[in-house]
Structure 1
Amino acid sequence: MTTQLGGPAATRALPAQDKLTSPEKSDASVAARLVKITLLGLVVAIAIWAAFPLAENHAWIGLGILVATTAGLLYLYLTRRHIPAKYLAPGTLLLVAFQVFPVLYTASTAFTNYGDGHRGSEEEAVVAIQTASVTQVPGSVQYALSIATTGDPATGPLVFLITDPATKTTKAGDAKGLKKLDPADVTVGVTGKVTAADGYTVLTAGQASLRSKEITALAVPVDGGAIRSSGLSRAYEGKAGRLYDKGCDCIRDTTTGKVWKADRRTGSFVAADGERLAQGWKVGVGFANFTRVVTDPDISGPFLRTLVWNFVFAIGSTGGTFLLGMFVAVALHSQRVRGRNLYRVLLVLPYAMPAFAMLLVWRDMFNKDFGLINNFFGIGVDWLGQPMTARIAVLLVQLWLGYPYMFLVTTGALQAIPGELSEASRIDGAGPWQSFRRIVLPLLMVALTPLLISSFAFNFNNFNAIYLTTEGGPFQPDNPANGATDLLITYTYRLAFGGSGAQYGYAAAISIFIFLIVGTISAIAFRRTRAQEEVYA
């Protein structure tokens, strides 16, 4: 006797099945809702946490983007519509936050003079110039001083808590200016010093002495001067030797009468004799940072030499590691080689070790006086002291560190090539070299070209390989900012964070050059890869 699919037996079975599965479905639905509510609550909490500093700094555009993004996420995940967007939204936000925004910010910085002495606005530059020129003069007002902070006593921002001797009022001052304190929130000792204040942590003598340099450097701006510390318990209101004159939009020295007028193009105060004050402000400079690479003779020559060596290093590192890795992989691919697995394990050991540690070891091995290489071969080559030998050294280090990766990927690609192709070529009379050159190598290149492109891009910006081995040196006496083994990335790092002063705008412009070079080469290479795939498909 047979039972039809829609018969009574099947009908009776369905409710029982539903009874078994519906509780499980209900539990899963409740768990999913709890996860959704938790994640959305976390998103709202992060948005609220980020909104306060944006509002405090009057970053209304950023605040608007934050509100719109949060509202969009809540709408997206609280409705049953737009299912594909629910999966795409997290990745898109991460892409914008960690890829698009940094690129756009770097590009915008490249068109400014942002750097040491040009970080803030013109008003901030004026305050810095005036406070830096403050000196104590006869009759300067003296204040009882307490050093405080609004954060950790060892690292928090410093605040001067002062008591006016004439009015007995207490004020809090920092680099932004003075703020009067409510007497009910302050406790003042018999000497006039503030011993406690709501919202502030008064430092002890020991804690303050540890930050004496910061205390000495702090100047609280006031009209016509600034308040500076005189020890840890007294402060004075000094007079500025250089004052800003709105009439001429200039800085005037009150002693000598010298004038520095504001130059809007460069964001600096410049005197008639060409002298510039160290403190300026951030302005847009158009393509000046880009044209500087070509027009400035002190920069164009080193930049072009660095660019040429950058290509040599990237091509040499990628090509050398690929050839060596492929040779070893092909040699161990033969079934006649005994102990292949042991050899493979030994050959990938350099890849398993921390690269930064191995780079430091190799640096010591190339040492002229006590390095292993010179001692082993009985030579006295100054490997890292001469331009040519230093370049050879970093290429050898990259060869040792990089070939295991190429060996691994080539081994995997060789195992994916059908053995029948090589067998057919031997039947047709082709030798081992002809079979490899005409069959194996083209198929390998189809599989490995994208990896070679990514390896080239990585080596083009391989900061660690240079900085941990040679630090970009050796350097010429006439140009300590650009070394013989410098890549564009290490050169950019030295410009941005070097001891001679940070030039973030110029460093960002060079970063754009690097991005365009690597992007163009990668695009061309990927196009050729697609053509290869069509030929051997």
Structure 2
Amino acid sequence: MSTPLSGPGPVTQDPGREPTGLPGKSRAARHHALTSVSGLLVKVILLGLTAAIAIWAAFPLVEAQMWLGLAILAATTAGLFYLYLTRRHIPAKYLVPGTLFLIAFQVVPVLYTASTAFTNFGDGHRGSKDDAVVAIQTGSVKQVPGSAEYALSVATEGDPATGPLVFLVSDPATGVVSAGDTGGLRQLDPADVTVAPGGKVTAADGYTILNFGQASSRSQDITGLVVPTSDGALRSAGLSRAYEGKAIRAYDAGCDCVRDTETGRTWTADEEIGAFVAPDGEQLAQGWQVNVGLKNFARVLTDPAISGPFFGTLLWNFAFAIGSTGGTFLLGMLIALALHSPRMRGTNLYRILLILPYAMPSFAMLLIWRDMFNTDFGLINNLFGLGVDWFGQEWSARVAVILVQLWLGYPYMFLVATGALQAIPKELTEATSVDGASPWQSFRSVTLPLLLVALSPLLISSFAFNFNNINAIWMTSEGGPFEPDNPRSGATDLLITYTYRLAFGAQGAEYGLAATVSVFIFAIVAVVSAVSFARTRRQEEVYS
């Protein structure tokens, strides 16, 4: 009779528990499934948003008949769907979003600015030739005998104080109520309006009718609003009446010109400058946007009214950027060296106090410093018993803005220099001491070169920032003082503030010329940065 082999009995398992040895795999499987579902849900949401944005952007492109843009939009959308619906191209899944944002927010604005530099875009040259013709004709509307008159209610679709104005008028013959703005008249549904016995509209769905006080405060805007109609244009005659006048200047396609029906004067279209020009050289104020080639670049370099301020501002711009960057670096480095000394006590307290300017909002500090330099009640003059008109003289204004920038900028250089000093091995400086070098020789031969290697990229970026530091100038001196005969360029203007004044100045916006100066700024900063980075790489090779 055989004896059964001895060994472990059958493994029993509680039905409510997972099999022994499998709980890790089971949890991993559940986690993988949950991750897959959540990832799929996120992918569906993001691709759905992409499709929605593509459809939303397609309609304006179709309406404008921009077929190339529509093709690019369709190809980009299809590419994104292919990329994220396939399991391949894993690196591209991470690189493509960043690349698209880079193109949208960096490359496209730069290209648009560069393209604007080759146009006459600005006041009087904002739209197309058709827009210019409409503006000329509607701007010449006058009330003539027999002009139709309407009861007028001034309304808006937004805020009564700032919203776009709309004329609500009722035809005295038919009783038809229409709403009019710069795009023309459109008839309203009688069920949506309430009209008083005199024909004045007292209520209209979707519109806020201005009361007498609100309309009076915007009387200038009301007078300037011209509503194009089929027979002329609608203009206000006070705050409660409107008339449909006739345009005394009309466009003649046969001669490609504008004729004044009262005087017989003619202005012929000049496609090179984008304006209607009379035989004696007079131009109508309203023109259109055209390509002017290198004309703006030639103006910046050769026109005395532009080139003089440009090159003078450029020299001061370099001086400000170099002085601000170099001054803040020297001061920050000296303070960092002082606090790096092992004999220094209370360094943490000093560091907290020294970085206070960096911790405060710069725009608020700039405004405070502007008041401190005030001639009459400023702290600087009162504290030192001075009577200097800091922002009224050329060199005192320049010294003031550099001092302000020095105070605001040194904490950053102090922080980065402190970190770089702590990264320099002590053995190097101790070795120089053993070799008999003085502290100055040790600093000049070891510490300073290693600091420059570490901080050169930061110095380059600081130079580029200060070269375009509009806040430091605009909030202190506003670019002044100005010469009496040149209100566009001040003694402390940087190229960026000069560009801003060209683009949005009270004398009329010149976006094309401002874009040209922006192209010069871009080229200058790019060249300086490229040369500086090349020298930095050579330094790194020497000290690596």
TM band (smaller chain): over 0.9
Counterpart contact for 2:373–2:380, Cα < 8 Å: yes
Q: Work out the percentage of aligned pairs sharing the same amino acid.
A: 70
Counterpart contact for 2:275–2:288, Cα < 8 Å: yes
Displacement of 1:455 after TM fit? 0.5
**What is the CA deviation profile of residues 440-461 of structure 1, one whole-angstrom value per residue up to 9, with x for unaligned ones?**
1111111011111000000100
Partner of residue 73, structure 1: 80
* Residue 244 (structure 1) aligned with residue 251 (structure 2): yes
The alignment partner of 1:500 has SS state of coil
Paired AA for residue 69 in structure 1: T
Distance 1:159 1:58 in 2: 30
Partner of residue 257, structure 1: 264
Displacement of 1:515 after TM fit? 0.2
Alignment of 1:108-123 (within 5 A): 108-123=115-130
Partner of residue 226, structure 2: 219
Displacement of 1:135 after TM fit? 1.0
Partner of residue 444, structure 2: 437
Match of 1:482 among 486, 489, 494: 489
Alignment of 1:3-152 (within 5 A): 15-150=22-157
Distance 2:115 2:393 in 1: 38
Partner of residue 427, structure 2: 420
Distance 2:250 2:333 in 1: 70
Alignment of 1:18-417 (within 5 A): 18-150=25-157, 155-180=162-187, 190-194=197-201, 200-201=206-207, 203-206=209-212, 208-209=215-216, 211-223=218-230, 225-417=232-424
Partner of residue 8, structure 1: none
Provide the aligned length of Structure 1 versus Structure 2. 525
Q: TM-score, normalised by structure 2?
A: 0.91
Counterpart contact for 1:322–1:403, Cα < 8 Å: yes
Partner of residue 511, structure 2: 504
Q: 1:52 to 1:192 in 2, by over 3 A?
A: farther
The alignment partner of 2:267 has SS state of strand
Displacement of 1:249 after TM fit? 1.4
Displacement of 1:194 after TM fit? 4.9
Q: 1:533 to 1:383 in 2, by over 3 A?
A: same
Displacement of 1:30 after TM fit? 1.6
Displacement of 1:387 after TM fit? 0.3
Distance 2:352 2:358 in 1: 10
Partner of residue 532, structure 1: 539
Displacement of 1:396 after TM fit? 0.9
Distance 1:453 1:366 in 2: 30
Paired AA for residue 82 in structure 1: H
Counterpart contact for 1:195–1:202, Cα < 8 Å: no
Counterpart contact for 2:156–2:210, Cα < 8 Å: no
Distance 2:540 2:238 in 1: 75
Distance 1:468 1:443 in 2: 36
Task: Give ranges in structure 1 of 5+ residues lacking alignment.
Answer: 1-11
Q: 1:78 to 1:422 in 2, by over 3 A?
A: same
Distance 2:183 2:66 in 1: 18
Paired AA for residue 295 in structure 2: A
**What is the CA deviation profile of residues 283-323 of structure 1, one whole-angstrom value per residue up to 9, with x for unaligned ones?**
11111111101211111111111000000001111111111
Counterpart contact for 2:185–2:227, Cα < 8 Å: yes
Counterpart contact for 1:112–1:286, Cα < 8 Å: yes
The alignment partner of 1:19 has SS state of helix
The alignment partner of 1:231 has SS state of coil
Paired AA for residue 114 in structure 1: F
Displacement of 1:467 after TM fit? 0.7
Distance 1:240 1:258 in 2: 14
Counterpart contact for 1:317–1:459, Cα < 8 Å: yes
The alignment partner of 1:118 has SS state of coil
**Alignment RMSD, CA only?**
2.2
The alignment partner of 2:489 has SS state of strand
Distance 2:382 2:151 in 1: 66
Displacement of 1:84 after TM fit? 1.2
